[in-house]
Chains A and B, each alone.
Chain A
Amino acid sequence: MSTPSAGSDLPAPTPLPYRRPSGPGRALVDGWVVAKRNLIKIKRVPEILVFVLISPIMFVLLFAFVFGGAIDPGDGVGYREFLIAGIFAQTVVFGATFTGAGLADDMAKGIIDRFRSLPMSPAAVLVGRTTSDVVYNVLSLVIMALTGLLVGWRIREGFLDALLGFGLLLVFAYAISWVMAYIGLVVPSVEVINNASFVVIMPLTFVSNAFVPLESFDGVLRQLVQWNPVSALTQASRDLFGNVSASAAAPDVWSMQHPALYTLVWVLGILLVFVPLSVRQYSRAGG
């Protein structure tokens, strides 16, 4: 880097008229400002929420009534009861698409340029976006749980266990949000992100025990299913909601024996990779 040649003077850094927050707390403070901005959008365009909430209801009803009779999980638990945790898992994972779509939209509209020209934390836009999407997921879980209760799903373990189950679903969805955040910053438009997430998330949720029992898969597919984190998430939720029959032992694989732990390992791994990756991508966006 060359020093500007002599000529007129350069000023000393001009003093700032205000004091800026600093340190890691700034990512949270700024992130909350961005999250509030995203949540205002829900207030202004409530139509978004209608569809966010209708599709999980539709999923619960479709699977319960269309496949309800055809698939027998086989361990004494009815299919509807078996199914609900799978639908929870699938829906919250799909919810991450919002994160990617929101960021792709912000990129396209130039808001990201505005944010990037401000002295804010480079993680704030991503922290804000992933945080506001937790709100979407909480709402859709509540709606799905109510619909599930209507069609015969029951929480058979303690209330606290059930809360842990919901917590695990949200934490996993949060991690997937960061993956989608990265994709949202890389792809050129909202249309692409919707298709991209479909391509990633459909196999992830269908090649799992979310809709069909693990026992019905063979060979390589079975290996994939039992190590798929969505399977572990679903298995852990079923355990915590008490939607597995007491007599049936969990499949004899570490991931299925310790599904909650295995899920959390994935959560940690995803965050460790995708938080720095996304923040770096954000910092050089458009460059």
Chain B
Amino acid sequence: MTDMIRATGLRKSFKEVQALDGLDLAVPEGQVLALLGPNGAGKTTAVRVLTTLLRPDSGSAIVAGVDVLADPDGVRARIGLSGQYAAVDEHLTGLENLEMVGRLYGLGGAAARRRAAELLDRFGLTEAGNRPSKTYSGGMRRRLDLAGALVAAPPVLVLDEPTTGLDPASRVQMWEVIRELVSGGATLLLTTQYLEEADRLADDIVVIDHGRAIAQGTADELKAQTGGERVEVVLAEPSMVGAARAVLAEVASGEIELKAGGRELTAPVAGGLAALGHTVSGLQQAGIAVLDLGLRRPTLDDVFLSLTGHASEAPAGSPGDPDSAETEEALR
């Protein structure tokens, strides 16, 4: 397979802060790689290096066959970048924004206009195309910014936290747009602090913390690394713990854990549904009342917690606060 993005040993520090600490990345052609990590993990710094906005202290990166350090202009001509806050001109209309980007990629006037209209149509912005983008909703602006990254139909796309700060509905809409993009064959590097987003969109996930890749794999592989399925039982009466534990012991493939104030039991299981069925009938026969019972697979949150030793943090960035993510990145 051919790697459209390959970074080797990227290091970058800001004053005492080591933002990137020997990061390696590879994204094969046509694949989606999610760079997953909390605020300040180094995601944005990595994106800025790969898109020529920032020179690394050491290390190298090749994007679309072009060396980022030796020929930054050549890289810029082959990538599309959409940042974590929508970098569109608020006084320009959607059409004018895209037309300007087209001209700056080197398209002629007529070609730039045609391409702008095409993209507005594709992103459902035709109707709003002649309004200043100031009047757009957050989701519309984000789509316009993403459209800007696609103007030159670049072989490599880099999306830095494309849905941070969006409401849930706009987020789902954005996911659909991105999935459609990728089905068109583009290579995509995506950063996110939403585990669900990485799960939905990416072929491969690199978990990054303190400027280093700490794990890599598909969502399933990462989850498997944390442990397989387990049965969870929340008891109505904490006094029934002993009896419930005895039922679970029949299906458990490992140690049974007790948590949440002594009424929630978790048992790793091998058999999946069969184990769940067995548990249900066992609990019924023993007359143990439960509040909740289920078969759980580990979430990426669990993965994150087990890998980093700290939980993934809630996003601090919001559309009204474009600096926050960057500031935190710099402060760490």
Query: Do residues B78 and A116 form an inter-chain contact, with CB atoms below 8 A?
Result: no
CB B28 to nearest CB in A, in angstroms, measures 6
Query: Do residues A44 and B8 form an inter-chain contact, with CB atoms below 8 A?
Result: no
Query: Do residues B73 and A2 form an inter-chain contact, with CB atoms below 8 A?
Result: no
CA distance A9 to B85 in the complex (A): 34
Q: Residue of B at shortest CB range from A21?
A: B106
Query: Do residues A111 and B87 form an inter-chain contact, with CB atoms below 8 A?
Result: yes
Query: Do residues A18 and B83 form an inter-chain contact, with CB atoms below 8 A?
Result: no
Question: Is the C-beta of B59 less than 8 angstroms from some C-beta in chain A?
Answer: yes
CA distance A16 to B75 in the complex (A): 11
CA distance A205 to B65 in the complex (A): 54
Partner of A1, one of B69, B87, B91, B107: B69
Number of interface residues, chain B, beta carbon within 8 A:
55
Question: Is the C-beta of B103 less than 8 angstroms from some C-beta in chain A?
Answer: yes
Question: Is the C-beta of B9 less than 8 angstroms from some C-beta in chain A?
Answer: yes
Partner of A8, one of B2, B52, B60, B88: B2
Question: Is the C-beta of B48 less than 8 angstroms from some C-beta in chain A?
Answer: yes
Q: List chain B residues, Cβ under 8 A from A284.
A: 55
Contact segment of B147-155, B214-222, B223-231, B291-299 = B147-155
Contact A287/B322 with A4-B60, A4-B62, A119-B77 known, Cβ cut-off 8 Å: no
Question: Is the C-beta of A216 less than 8 angstroms from some C-beta in chain B?
Answer: no
CB B221 to nearest CB in A, in angstroms, measures 18
Partner of B153, one of A17, A109, A111, A116: A17
Q: Which of A2, A10, A19 has the most CB of B within 10 A?
A: A10
Query: Do residues B101 and A18 form an inter-chain contact, with CB atoms below 8 A?
Result: no
Query: Do residues B64 and A13 form an inter-chain contact, with CB atoms below 8 A?
Result: yes
Q: List chain A residues, Cβ under 8 A from B274.
A: none
Query: Do residues A11 and B54 form an inter-chain contact, with CB atoms below 8 A?
Result: no
Q: List chain A residues, Cβ under 8 A from B152.
A: 16-18
CA distance A109 to B91 in the complex (A): 12
Question: Is the C-beta of B4 less than 8 angstroms from some C-beta in chain A?
Answer: yes
Question: Is the C-beta of B53 less than 8 angstroms from some C-beta in chain A?
Answer: yes
Q: Which of A19, A37, A118, A284 has the most CB of B within 10 A?
A: A118
Q: List chain A residues, Cβ under 8 A from B85.
A: 110
Query: Do residues B132 and A118 form an inter-chain contact, with CB atoms below 8 A?
Result: no
Question: Is the C-beta of B311 less than 8 angstroms from some C-beta in chain A?
Answer: no
CB A193 to nearest CB in B, in angstroms, measures 17
Question: Is the C-beta of B79 less than 8 angstroms from some C-beta in chain A?
Answer: yes
Query: Do residues B53 and A287 form an inter-chain contact, with CB atoms below 8 A?
Result: yes
Question: Is the C-beta of A265 less than 8 angstroms from some C-beta in chain B?
Answer: no
CA distance A120 to B101 in the complex (A): 10
Query: Do residues A13 and B87 form an inter-chain contact, with CB atoms below 8 A?
Result: no
Query: Do residues A2 and B65 form an inter-chain contact, with CB atoms below 8 A?
Result: no
CA distance A4 to B81 in the complex (A): 23
CB B147 to nearest CB in A, in angstroms, measures 12
Q: Residue of A at shortest CB range from B8?
A: A4
Query: Do residues B89 and A19 form an inter-chain contact, with CB atoms below 8 A?
Result: no
CA distance A271 to B151 in the complex (A): 34
Q: Which of B2, B103, B104 has the most CB of A within 10 A?
A: B104
Question: Is the C-beta of A219 less than 8 angstroms from some C-beta in chain B?
Answer: no
Q: How large is the interface on A (under 10, 10 to 19, 20 to 34, 35 or more residues)?
A: 35 or more
Partner of B53, one of A2, A9, A286: A286
Question: Is the C-beta of B29 less than 8 angstroms from some C-beta in chain A?
Answer: yes
Question: Is the C-beta of B74 less than 8 angstroms from some C-beta in chain A?
Answer: yes
Q: List chain A residues, Cβ under 8 A from B103.
A: 30, 33
Interface residues in B1-47 (C-beta closer than 8 Å to A):
1-4, 6, 8-9, 26, 28-29
CB B142 to nearest CB in A, in angstroms, measures 12
Partner of A118, one of B1, B29, B76: B76
Query: Do residues A18 and B111 form an inter-chain contact, with CB atoms below 8 A?
Result: yes
CA distance A8 to B74 in the complex (A): 22
Interface residues in A104-132 (C-beta closer than 8 Å to B):
109-111, 113-120, 124
Interface string of B69-100 (1 = CB under 8 A from A): 10001101111010101111111100010001
Q: Residue of A at shortest CB range from B52?
A: A117
Q: List chain A residues, Cβ under 8 A from B163.
A: none
Q: List chain B residues, Cβ under 8 A from A36.
A: 100
Partner of A10, one of B2, B74, B153: B2
Query: Do residues A119 and B73 form an inter-chain contact, with CB atoms below 8 A?
Result: yes
Question: Is the C-beta of B105 less than 8 angstroms from some C-beta in chain A?
Answer: yes
Q: Residue of B at shortest CB range from A41?
A: B91
Query: Do residues A120 and B78 form an inter-chain contact, with CB atoms below 8 A?
Result: no
CB B280 to nearest CB in A, in angstroms, measures 48
Q: List chain B residues, Cβ under 8 A from A120.
A: 104-105
Query: Do residues B104 and A30 form an inter-chain contact, with CB atoms below 8 A?
Result: yes
CA distance A11 to B74 in the complex (A): 14
Task: Add 7 more A-B contacts to A10-B2, A14-B78, A14-B155 (CB < 8 A).
Answer: A2-B60, A5-B8, A13-B74, A30-B104, A44-B91, A114-B83, A116-B52
Q: Show 11 A/B contacts (Cβ-Cβ < 8 Å), sorted by A.
A: A5-B8, A9-B3, A13-B65, A18-B106, A33-B100, A37-B92, A40-B91, A45-B91, A118-B101, A119-B104, A287-B55
A residues lining the B interface (CB < 8 Å): 1-5, 7-14, 16-21, 30, 33-34, 36-37, 40-41, 44-45, 109-111, 113-120, 124, 284, 286-287
B residues lining the A interface (CB < 8 Å): 1-4, 6, 8-9, 26, 28-29, 48, 51-55, 58-60, 62, 64-66, 69, 73-74, 76-79, 81, 83, 85-92, 96, 100-101, 103-107, 111, 132, 148, 152-153, 155, 322
> What are the 5 tightest A-B residue pairs by CB atom distance, in nearest-first order?
A20-B106, A114-B87, A119-B77, A13-B65, A119-B76
